[in-house]
Amino acid sequence: METFEAQTIDEAIAAASAAFKANRDQLDIQVLEQPRHGFLGFGRRNAKIQAELKRPVQPQKPIVKKSAVKSQPAKKTVVVKTAKPTDKKQNVKPAANDSNEPDALEMEHRHQANVQKMNQAAKALCGYLKDVLAALGVTAKPKIVKLRTHELVVDLQADNSGRVIGFHGRRINALEQLGTAFLSYHGVDDPGLILDTSNYRQKRQQSLEKLAARCVTEVIATGQAVFLDPMPARERKYLHHVLEDNPRVKTYSHGRDPYRSVVVAPKN
C-alpha cells in the first residue's frame, strides 16, 4: 500500500484517488494518523493514510459432489423443441453506482471552494478587527500571514502593540475568540485562528517554556504541587505538551473558565 499525507483525511484520500486515477470506493484505505493543528505550528501533524486499489473478487467455482449413479432402465428420448435465439441485442443497462463517495475531481473542487471561502472570510475579518481596535482607540493594520483551508494567522501591525496585547494578553486573546466566532459565522468549518502582534506569540511561548522549567525545579525540590495562575486554554494546552514527557512531574488542569489553571505535581 502507498502512503499519502495531507492537512486533512479528505485531502489525503483525494491525493490517493488522483494517484490511482480511481474513485474512493475503488480503493482500500487505512488511516494511519489523524491530523493535529498544534500550537503556533509546534506539534502540528498532517493526516496520513495508506491506500491501494481493491482487488477484484473472483467467483468461486461450484463444487460438484460426485454421487453414486444407480443403474436405471433406459428411458425413451423425448425431443423438446426450443425457440430460436433472436439476433436482437438486449439493452442491458449497467448497474448504477450506489456509492455516494466523491471522486478525486470533486474532492479537489471542494478543497478549492473551502480555500476560497476562507479567503473571503479572512478579508472580512481583517476589516472587522480593524474597526474593533479603532473603537478601542488603537490604530492597527491587520495582515494575513498564513491562510489554509481551516487555518488562518493574522498579524495586527500597530505602533503600540502593548495596547493590542492588553494585560497578560487578555485583549489579543479576546480578539482571537471574537475572530474565531466571526469565521464560523461566515461558513468556515472548524477554524483555527491565531492573532499575533510584534512576535508576541513566540515570546509568550518562550516564557511558558521557562515557567515550565521553574515549576519542575520547584516540584522536585519541595515534593509539592505548584498551582499556576489562570491562563487561556491555548497556553494550558501548550504547558501540558511541554511537560508531557517529563519523567518527574505530571500536569492537569484545575478549576473552571475563566479561572481554569494548570497544576504541576510530582508524578509519584
DSSP the chain: -EEEEESSHHHHHHHHHHHHT--GGGEEEEEEE--B--BTTBT-B-EEEEEEEPPPPPPPPPPPPP-PPPP-----------PPPPSPPP--PPPP-------HHHHHHHHHHHHHHHHHHHHHHHHHHHHHHHHTT--EEEEEEEE-SSEEEEEEEES-HHHHH-GGGHHHHHHHHHHHHHHHHTT-SS-EEEEESTTHHHHHHHHHHHHHHHHHHHHHHH-S-EEPPP--HHHHHHHHHHHTT-SSEEEEEES-TTS-EEEEEE--
Residue 68: per-residue pLDDT: 45
Confidence (pLDDT) at 5:
84
Q: Quickly tell me which residue has 495562575 as its cell.
A: 229
For the chain, the first-to-last Cα distance in angstroms comes to 43
User: Which pLDDT score is estimated for 69?
Assistant: 45
Q: Which domains does the chain have, with CATH numbers?
A: 2-55 (3.30.30), 111-198 (3.30.300.20), 201-266 (3.30.1370.50)
- The answer to whether residues 61 and 70 touch, using CB atoms and an 8 Å cutoff, is no
Nearest CA among 110, 181, 106 for reference residue 149 = 110
Q: What pLDDT shows up at residue 19?
A: 82
Can you list the residues of the chain whose pLDDT is less than 70? 37-44, 57-102
At 212-224, the pLDDT tens digits run 999 999 999 999 9
Q: What's residue 44's pLDDT?
A: 67
Largest CA distance in the chain: 112
Question: pLDDT (tens digit, 9 = 90+) per residue, 76-118?
Answer: 554 445 455 555 445 545 444 545 556 788 888 888 888 898 9
